[in-house]
Structure 1
Amino acid sequence: MKKHNFSAGPCILPQSVLQKASAAVLNFNDLNLSLIEVSHRSKDFVDVMENARSLALEHLGLQNKGYKALFLQGGASLEFLMVANNLLENKAAYLNTGTWADKSLKEARMLGEVIEVASSKDQNFNYIPKNYSVPNDVDYFHCTSNNTIFGTQLKEFPKTNVKLVCDMSSDIFSRQMDFSQFDLIYAGAQKNMGPAGTTLVVIKEDILGKVSRQIPSMLDYKVHISKDSMFNTPAVFPVYVSMLTLEWLKDIGGLAAIEKINNEKAALLYNEIDRNPLFKGFVSNKEDRSNMNATFNLTDDSLNDRFNSLWTAAGINGLKGHRSVGGYRASMYNALPIESVAVLVDVMKELELGA
């Protein structure tokens, strides 16, 4: 029986997607060749790439609105540098809400002036800063929508006249919103979309070509757009699995359907954290809690071994918190069924009964 996978990433994927991907590794499109053997220039794989890019724009409501979707490599970590290379001419503004936001800010500083408009570092990133202002004279404003390690999530985004850039690696395709407010979105696949190895970039094409620096070809979004995400050999298997996952999401009703499911999962777990005296949430403000990553601790450390034994015996995987936070982290990405959350809640109740 498959375990209840709360891993923060690489994370759980839909079982139907895994089955189709497994079959394609053995025999792709009845070619009697493996998916990972065929040429990325073949019609069969070009169709995969085009479908994956089209589905990404469709889910985000950005078709025919001047946006391009790319599947690149290097993870979100490379996007920290690519964003600055392509958009930073004089100075940029960054919101610092966690480890990955902090790293994106560090990379951008190599290429120009960076203003940190607000930070929650003073309390180990356990809240989302409020009431900050975005300067009007910056090239772009960068934020991270969901902070995987610390369990915080932006529920609102600033209204600004400057370009809005967002790292959505850990909550892409998990909720509805007006995605046209963003000029550039990027997301590593290994949270809600596919296996590690590819990164989705969705970019409004007319914001490019405005910087004076010469951009290395591999870091130039215009180059990748001109080659339809095929400037170099793409990560064939991760792109294919991402396409299957986006098809699965469409089949179950898209972002409207998955947002409802994700809200139900989060409510189930957070209600137990708040009710059960043995547990305490890491995030200081309930309105800042992430629907994707619930971070929590035991109120009595002497119960750690007992709790660890209970959830392990229940077939739960990936519940340990990040070393910078400690405690526990339940990552509830799109493909995690609510039944798995119910199993975790039952374990938490069992610990309380035995305490």
Structure 2
Amino acid sequence: MTSVKRVHNFNAGPSAMPLSVLEKAQAELLSFNGCGMSVMEMSHRSKEFEGIIKTAEADLRELMGIPANYKVMFLQGGASLHFAMEAMNFRPAGASADYIVTGAWSKAAIKEAAKLGTTNVVFNGEAEKFNRLPAAGELNFDPKAAYVHICHNETIHGVEFKSEPVLPAGVPLFCDMSSDFVSQPIDVTKYAMIYAGAQKNAGPAGVVIAIVRDDMLERVPANLPTMLDYKVMAEKESLYNTPPCWSIYMCGLVFQWLKELGGLEAMYKIDQQKAKMIYDVIDKSGGYYRGHAVPESRSIMNIPFRLASEELEDLFVKESKKADLIGLKGHRSVGGLRASLYNAVPLESVKALADFMVEFQKKNG
């Protein structure tokens, strides 16, 4: 184990990485597998990198149970680029797409899609400050929609889908899963497309993982810019141009770590345990800590909460940093406080935060 000081990292992304993954990458930094080169130096056309990307894909397929009729791609641009790409590739001219707007990121997604064509807001939780998910009776889908878009977990507002919405027959479901990707088992067959920026749970910043059902690729129109064409990227197996090699390598190490841990079922149990520790402190604080999301919509990845005043919240951030609890300031757009409990945040870090919260209330209540 490393003797280097490590803080309790609650950053919302880029975020914590498993220590064993960092140590393995450190050990292989100068020479991957004895080849005499770092992954950062080797050709993306080399046999060494071909092995890295194919192993990463195979491990991800095993972890998520991805069927053979889905393509897995390691792309670039962050999830934000794919807000536009999904519309460009999969919404035909003259068609509309449905969006369930549950927070800042689904709001950003529809804003990009609306620049390129027709969109329909099926649900918008903004009036309630995005503190809940919609009930089934609130959703009125267009049966002719090109697709329905959801953000599975909203990092800023801390709400997370517990099950997929029921769509009209034949309407595909698209999902930005950036912030709870590989945190729990899901049925991939319920989705036509899943994409996720890696920098929350799957690896470092720089790569987006896209999982697309084969039949969707037949919808891609001709003459899209090549780098924005999912069909080209799938046909070239993520290697049309130089991919983010190091980020893909690191994702592969994370997938191996998850397999060694026992897979997504085991990871989900740990993540639930971590979230319960913090929500219990909030719920037992007598209103001193005020969680943002209603209990039935709460995220297990991102927990935003408030105190009685901004001055008290500033003190919380200041004192928490002294205790090596890093990244607890809320998103600049909403303020407050936020703890991000991604896969690699260890139980001992979450316990340290829970203990700090209890003590902070005693001293400043």
State whether TM-score is above 0.5. yes
1:354 positional shift: 1.6
- 8 Å CA contact 1:54–1:69 kept in 2: the answer is no
Q: 2:72 aligns with which of 66, 69, 72?
A: 69
Q: Secondary structure at the match of 1:157?
A: coil
CA 1:310–1:135 in structure 2 vs 1: closer, same or farther (change >3 Å)?
Answer: same
Q: 2:292 aligns with which of 272, 278, 282?
A: 282
Most deviating of 21-30 and 168-177: 21-30
Q: 1:229 aligns with which of 234, 238, 257?
A: 238
Q: Secondary structure at the match of 1:290?
A: coil
Q: Secondary structure at the match of 1:25?
A: coil
1:302 positional shift: 4.5
- 8 Å CA contact 2:30–2:37 kept in 1: the answer is yes
Amino acid of the residue matched to residue 104 of structure 2? T
- Percent identity over paired residues: 43
* 1:90-239 → structure 2 map (5 Å cutoff): 90-130=95-135, 131-160=138-167, 161=169, 162-212=171-221, 214-239=223-248
Amino acid of the residue matched to residue 154 of structure 1? F
State the Cα deviation string for residues 210-245 of structure 1 (Å, max 9, x = none).
Answer: 254532211111111111110010001000000000
Counterpart CA distance in 1 for 2:47 and 2:54 is 10
CA 1:113–1:304 in structure 2 vs 1: closer, same or farther (change >3 Å)?
Answer: closer
Q: Name the structure 1 match of 2:43.
A: 39
Counterpart CA distance in 2 for 1:211 and 1:140 is 13
Counterpart CA distance in 2 for 1:69 and 1:87 is 17
- 8 Å CA contact 2:89–2:221 kept in 1: the answer is no
1:133 positional shift: 2.4
Counterpart CA distance in 1 for 2:86 and 2:209 is 13
Amino acid of the residue matched to residue 260 of structure 2? D
Q: Name the structure 1 match of 2:83.
A: 80
State the Cα deviation string for residues 147-183 of structure 1 (Å, max 9, x = none).
Answer: 0111111112112220010000000011122121001
- TM-score normalised to structure 2 length: 0.94
- 8 Å CA contact 1:11–1:190 kept in 2: the answer is yes
- 8 Å CA contact 1:145–1:153 kept in 2: the answer is yes
Q: 2:271 aligns with which of 251, 262, 272?
A: 262
Q: Secondary structure at the match of 1:133?
A: coil
Q: Name the structure 2 match of 1:3.
A: 7
Counterpart CA distance in 1 for 2:103 and 2:311 is 29
* Gaps in structure 2 of 5+ consecutive residues: none
Amino acid of the residue matched to residue 144 of structure 2? D
Q: Name the structure 1 match of 2:353.
A: 344
- 8 Å CA contact 1:70–1:201 kept in 2: the answer is yes
Q: Name the structure 1 match of 2:333.
A: 324
Counterpart CA distance in 2 for 1:20 and 1:49 is 17
Q: How many residues align?
A: 353
1:19 positional shift: 1.1
Counterpart CA distance in 1 for 2:244 and 2:303 is 30
Q: 2:16 aligns with which of 8, 12, 17?
A: 12
Q: 2:52 aligns with which of 44, 48, 61?
A: 48
- 8 Å CA contact 2:220–2:229 kept in 1: the answer is no
* Gaps in structure 1 of 5+ consecutive residues: none
Q: Name the structure 1 match of 2:31.
A: 27
CA 1:29–1:349 in structure 2 vs 1: closer, same or farther (change >3 Å)?
Answer: same
- 8 Å CA contact 1:27–1:34 kept in 2: the answer is yes
Counterpart CA distance in 2 for 1:148 and 1:304 is 19
RMSD (Å) for aligned C-alpha atoms: 1.3
Q: Secondary structure at the match of 2:33?
A: coil
1:303 positional shift: 2.9
- 8 Å CA contact 1:143–1:165 kept in 2: the answer is yes
1:351 positional shift: 1.4
Counterpart CA distance in 2 for 1:183 and 1:338 is 34
Counterpart CA distance in 2 for 1:218 and 1:302 is 47
Counterpart CA distance in 2 for 1:313 and 1:204 is 48
- 8 Å CA contact 2:130–2:157 kept in 1: the answer is yes
Most deviating of 10-19 and 132-141: 132-141
Most deviating of 99-108 and 229-238: 99-108
Counterpart CA distance in 2 for 1:212 and 1:74 is 20
1:274 positional shift: 0.9
CA 1:43–1:126 in structure 2 vs 1: closer, same or farther (change >3 Å)?
Answer: same
- 8 Å CA contact 2:313–2:337 kept in 1: the answer is no
- 8 Å CA contact 1:148–1:293 kept in 2: the answer is yes
- 8 Å CA contact 1:306–1:351 kept in 2: the answer is no
State the Cα deviation string for residues 307-339 of structure 1 (Å, max 9, x = none).
Answer: 234312221110100012211110000011111
State the Cα deviation string for residues 183-220 of structure 1 (Å, max 9, x = none).
Answer: 10000000000100000000101112225453221111
* 1:290-329 → structure 2 map (5 Å cutoff): 290-329=299-338
Q: Secondary structure at the match of 2:181?
A: coil
